[in-house]
């Protein structure tokens, strides 16, 4: 079940891998904003108009949508770690395609593939981290992901600003696009040393493996009382959830005992309110100002 890390070291490893994954999310959100006024970029792609620039940018979001939907299909089949590895593979390929592109179709394909990876990772990583964290640490761990996201956006802004001093070199836009592949590789490189979600293992009936993971997370022997009780509670909770609700698309619109519809609307509403103020547009406008100064 992975490497020898246990207890605090294992938690830090999971937090680091998750943080890199969300840093990459923030990085990808802002990386293209600094390239749309880059002289070398515009010359390479024959001075694309505003409409074409919008298509190049928006195809990434289209890929994210399909990536999130894909994770619904493969997430419970492959498991959390393999799903994240698949998302990072998409991101690595997509980043390299973008960094080596000379035509708009080439760039768009790379954007879509990167979007697939981001859509998968932003769906699976929070679930994986919450399922491998102690209850008292869960909130802080997920909050750390959002901090890493903002930090990734900061990194891409400063990187784009720094490359404004090389306006006529293709490195000024190829390196920022290639850098996302390095972050994806970093996220994926840590996974073999880490553990699978014990909840997913229990869902698959692999209770012995789940117990071994819980033992590593708690840094306690397999037969320790806390390890056994945690596993029993997990098995009982999963069994109760299966009895009380039938998992399906209809559950998204029901507001029964589990308040599924209300929870989804809360999560969706917060994200809509975050974006509806136009914060990304303002930041991109600032990046364009940097490039045109």
| Inside any domain, residue 27 | yes
Number of domains present in the structure of the chain:
1
Contacts of 173 (CB under 8 A, 6+ apart): 35, 38, 40, 41, 163
Structural domain span for residue 52: 1-194
| Inside any domain, residue 32 | yes
Using a 10 angstrom Cβ sphere, with 0-12 exposed, 13-18 middle and 19 or more buried, the burial of residue 219 is: middle
| Inside any domain, residue 152 | yes
| Inside any domain, residue 114 | yes
Kindly report the pTM of this predicted structure.
0.84
| DSSP type of residue 206 | -
CATH number at residue 126: 1.20.1250.20
| Inside any domain, residue 278 | no
Q: pLDDT tens for the chain, 293 residues: list them.
A: 444 778 889 889 999 999 999 899 888 888 887 788 788 888 888 888 888 888 888 888 889 999 988 988 888 888 899 999 999 999 999 999 999 999 999 999 999 999 999 999 988 998 898 888 887 788 888 788 888 888 998 898 888 888 888 878 889 899 999 999 999 999 999 999 899 999 999 988 899 999 999 999 988 888 889 989 989 888 888 887 777 655 566 666 666 666 677 777 877 777 777 667 766 666 555 555 555 55
| Inside any domain, residue 116 | yes
| DSSP type of residue 250 | G
| Inside any domain, residue 204 | no
Distance CA 13, CA 115 (A): 25
Distance CA 189, CA 212 (A): 22
Angstrom CA distances, 32 to 59, 100, 246, 271, stand at 12, 15, 42, 21
Is residue 107 within 8 A of residue 56, CB to CB? The reply is yes
């Amino acid at each position: 079940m992975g490497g020898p890390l246990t207890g605090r070291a294992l938690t830090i490893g999971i937090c680091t891998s998750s943080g890199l994954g969300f840093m990459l999310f923030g990085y990808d959100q802002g990386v293209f904003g600094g390239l749309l006024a880059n002289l070398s970029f515009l010359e390479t792609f024959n001075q694309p108009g505003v409409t074409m620039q919008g298509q190049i940018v928006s195809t990434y979001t289209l890929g994210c949508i399909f990536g999130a939907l894909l994770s619904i299909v493969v997430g419970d089949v492959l498991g959390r770690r393999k799903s994240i590895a698949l998302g990072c593979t998409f991101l690595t390929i997509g980043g390299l395609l973008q960094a080596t592109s000379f035509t708009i179709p080439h760039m768009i394909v790379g954007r879509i593939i990167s979007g697939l990876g981001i859509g998968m990772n932003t769906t699976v990583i929070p679930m994986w981290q919450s399922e491998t964290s102690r209850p008292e640490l869960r909130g802080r761990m997920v909050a750390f992901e959002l901090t890493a996201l903002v930090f990734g956006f900061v990194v891409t802004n400063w990187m784009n600003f720094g490359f404004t001093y090389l306006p006529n070199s293709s490195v000024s836009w190829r390196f920022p696009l290639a850098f996302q592949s390095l972050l994806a590789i970093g996220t994926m490189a840590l996974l073999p040393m880490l553990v699978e979600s014990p909840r997913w293992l229990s869902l698959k009936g692999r209770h012995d493996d789940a117990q071994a993971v819980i033992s590593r997370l708690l840094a306690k022997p397999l037969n320790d009382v806390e390890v056994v009780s945690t596993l029993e509670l997990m098995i009982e909770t999963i069994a109760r959830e299966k009895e009380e609700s039938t998992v399906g698309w209809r559950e998204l619109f029901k507001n029964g005992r589990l308040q599924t519809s209300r929870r989804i609307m809360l999560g969706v509403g917060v994200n809509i309110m975050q974006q509806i103020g136009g914060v990304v547009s303002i930041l991109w406008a600032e990046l364009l100002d940097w490039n045109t100064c």
